[in-house]
Structure 1
Amino acid sequence: MTRVQAVVFDMDGVLIDSEDLWKQVRVEFAARLARRWSDEDQAATMGCNTAGWSRIMVERLSLREHGLDEAAVAHMVIDRLREKYRRHLPARDGAAAAVRRLAARYPLALASGSPGAVGEYVLEAMGLAPLFAVCAWGDEVEHGKPAPDLYLLALARLGVAAQHAVGIEDSGNGVRSLHAAGMGIVAAPHPLYPLRPEVAALAAVCIGHFDELDAAVVEKAGFGWPESPIRSVPVDASRPERPAHAGTSDAAGRHRSR
């Protein structure tokens, strides 16, 4: 009998390469108001939920002077992001095929910090929505990644214990979240954002391309953290790791189940 009873995917950075689009939306939003959104501003939003990043935007861009509060800013930013996704959805190469491979073997869940309205659109556009038994969104939990709350919520909805589940993550905060939840870990870092060695060491398997992600890799991850993690890509301490994404759900209580 297989040890692994479910696989849980992150979305931003795993299924789609969305970080640049989030930044573009915020830069354009600020420019329309004769303001500037900097790399430092963007970094401050990483790991925040919708309430958090909208508050940062209001404060750093002095948006109350324009009569804009957090709810209005969140609404405008999310709407603009969805428009960009309609024109071009930046799917990570091989990710959709990997989801389909694993869906033939395991129940799947999504644990994403993205807004529910955006996340649902992404899954539908990629043709993957029917493959996920449940979804958990950021504003459904009190603490975002690296806290384990999102993954624990997804597992509760699946009815699967953490020790029988494997998660797929690209970011340092995401890997830490899986580790805190007690799940097996497959790291799939973006080529431009390698994980720090101490974070990569938490993963049982680190893949360089989604073509490598199959049931054999998942089963290896399901047996925990070996003394020497199985990796096919190097880690790089000299480059910044990719944080968990700042976009989180504005759709509290919303999830999909079969």
Structure 2
Amino acid sequence: MPDAIIFDLDGTLADTETVWDGVRQGMAADAGIEWPEGATQAMMGMSTGEWSRFLAEEVGLPYPPEEVARLTIEQMAEHYREGITLLPGAIESVRRMAARYPLAIASSSPRVLIDTFIEVFGIDDVIEVCVSTEEVDRGKPAPDGFIKACALLGVDPRRTIAIEDSTNGIASALAAGMTVVAVPPHFHPPSAELLEKTTVLQTLDELTVDLVEELIPSPPAPVGDTGGKGSPGDIAEL
């Protein structure tokens, strides 16, 4: 069986990738800045420090990164308070997996938004570990967030499954040595080449215990272990 299951949040459990993009592009429009091509894709998976610097230095928002982060997170928190849309099967799949495995969330969202999501949707009783990439050195596609989540759970990344949606998120989990289940979004989906390295689902309704247990091979038996059938010496004495 897998050692654990680690979920991404934005675009995997909650339909918030478009909300993040709308907030950021709205800030640029308010400042009279044309949105650069490729900026949306570049920031998907970045940590708070990374995307706030990107918005200030690459997009050109007229604020220091700390102020960019504050303004963006305040607007996102308002969207959370007004209500966000869950993706199909999100909470049901979390509880289905929690019945069998330790669970974590490893997300690029700031900690305050992760905690708000968990509280609002009532899954604080089953999520054992949460990691925001603002708490590690590098955001996705670097593996830091997933590696920290595995360390906090006390599990081997090579025997742990990541549930992801975005290009940078999938690359992050693969770099951590994890097995990846991808639920590709319509919003900037990953390339077919990258998805070939994952197990692709249409929705989280398809995430079942039977499926994930097929994805992690059984560990090899210890040297000398004959599965209770006796050793070669035992057989020779019969």
TM-score (norm 1): 0.77
| In structure 2, distance between residues paired with 1:84 and 1:20 | 12
The residue number in structure 1 matching 2:79 is: 84
Which string of whole-angstrom CA distances, capped at 9 and with x for unpartnered residues, describes residues 150-179 of structure 1?
Answer: 111001000111222111111222222222
Structure showing greater Rg: 2
Is the 2:4–2:160 Cα contact (8 Å) retained in structure 1? yes
1:197 Cα deviation from its structure 2 partner:
2.6
Is the 2:45–2:169 Cα contact (8 Å) retained in structure 1? no
1:54 Cα deviation from its structure 2 partner:
1.4
Among 137, 159, 162, which residue is 2:132 paired with? 137
Equivalent positions of 1:86-165 (< 5 A) are 86-165=81-160
Among 208, 211, 227, which residue is 1:214 paired with? 208
Among 5, 11, 14, which residue is 2:9 paired with? 11
1:209–1:106 Cα change, 3 Å: same
1:92–1:163 Cα change, 3 Å: same
Among 43, 54, 69, which residue is 2:41 paired with? 43
| In structure 2, distance between residues paired with 1:138 and 1:7 | 18
Is the 1:184–1:223 Cα contact (8 Å) retained in structure 2? no
User: Residue 118 of structure 2: SS of its match in structure 1?
Assistant: helix
**Range 46-55 or range 114-123, more displaced:** 46-55
TM-score (norm 2): 0.83
| In structure 2, distance between residues paired with 1:128 and 1:73 | 30
Among 58, 67, 70, which residue is 1:72 paired with? 67
| In structure 2, distance between residues paired with 1:122 and 1:53 | 21
How many residues get paired? Answer: 218
User: Residue 8 of structure 1: SS of its match in structure 2?
Assistant: strand
The one-letter code matched in structure 2 to 1:210 is L
Alpha carbon RMSD of aligned pairs, Å? Answer: 2.0
1:95–1:157 Cα change, 3 Å: same
